[in-house]
Structure 1
Amino acid sequence: MINMYNDLNKLEGTFRQLEQFKALETAIEAVKEDESAVALFSNFRKMQMTLQEKQATGEDLNEDELQYAQKTAQLAQQNEKINAMLIAEMALSSVIEEITNVLVKPVQALYDGIPEAE
């Protein structure tokens, strides 16, 4: 019997050694060491969660919420340490997307033989 979890655990170890992972780890540590960056990022994250919750429930955002969200995002992106962290996160997200594509590839191939309706 195949135990894919052994392979996944090995992949996790490899993943942690990636340059992109280490860059994100370093960037997060830099944010953690700066109290103002931590506070700013915490506000940014709370705002993101609130927006996601409202979108998930179909609630509209009022003008004040939109302005607050934009201002919070701008402040976070203007912080050098947070911005570096967000850039590192995007680079790692690209790797995760590649991994996901590889994992989904055999499932997608199963559907490839189904003809499209005319």
Structure 2
Amino acid sequence: MAVNLFDLAYELEKGLRQSDDYMNLKKLYDEVNNDQEASNIFANFREVQMRLQEKQMSGQEITEEEVQQAQKTVALVQQHEKISKLMEAEQRMGMTIADLNKIIMKPLEEMYGNVAE
């Protein structure tokens, strides 16, 4: 009997939404967004991050001034308790998703061999 992979994927999504890591991430995200100061600092941090990534991906040089601005923004983010907790939760969620991806890719790795090694 064939398995509908999309049904399994939607079940996984539902499970992810019900997981402790996701619910904690959502709670912390809401706390940051409901705090005007934290929300502004976090939005600025994300903007600086995206701008630097875009420059890097397009091969543009990142100036010393931009590096210093990014470092100041990171320092602000790390000093803000709500934002640093949110970022820790984002990291945990990212690790969970990476682990899930490894599990999902296992059949292909077994068939083709692990090319990363």
Correspondences of 1:1-118 after superposition (within 5 Å): 1-112=2-113
Distance 1:30 1:86 in 2: 12
What is the aligned-residue RMSD (CA, Å)? 1.5
What do residues 57-83 of structure 1 show as CA deviations (whole Å, max 9, x unaligned)? Answer: 111211100000110111011111100
Identify if the C-alpha distance between structure 1 residues 113 and 61 changes in structure 2 by more than 3 Å, giving closer, same or farther.
Answer: closer
Letter in 2 for 1:14: G
**TM-score normalised over the length of structure 2:** 0.92
C-alpha displacement at 1:13, in angstroms?
0.7
In structure 1, runs of 5+ residues without a counterpart are none
- After superposing on structure 2, the runs of 4+ consecutive aligned residues of structure 1 that deviate more than 6 Å are none
Deviation, 1:111, is: 1.3
Q: CA deviation at 1:2?
A: 3.1
**2:62 aligns to what SS in structure 1?**
coil
Q: CA deviation at 1:113?
A: 9.0
Counterparts of 1:62 and 1:80, CA distance in 2: 29
Q: Structure 1: which amino acid aligns with 2:91?
A: M
Separation in 1 of the partners of 2:84 and 2:24?
13
Give the CA deviation at 1:109.
1.1
CA offset digits 1:10-60 (Å, max 9, x no partner): 111111111111110110011011000010001000001001101101112
Percent identity over the alignment?
A: 35
Q: Distance in 2 between matches of 1:67 and 1:51?
A: 12
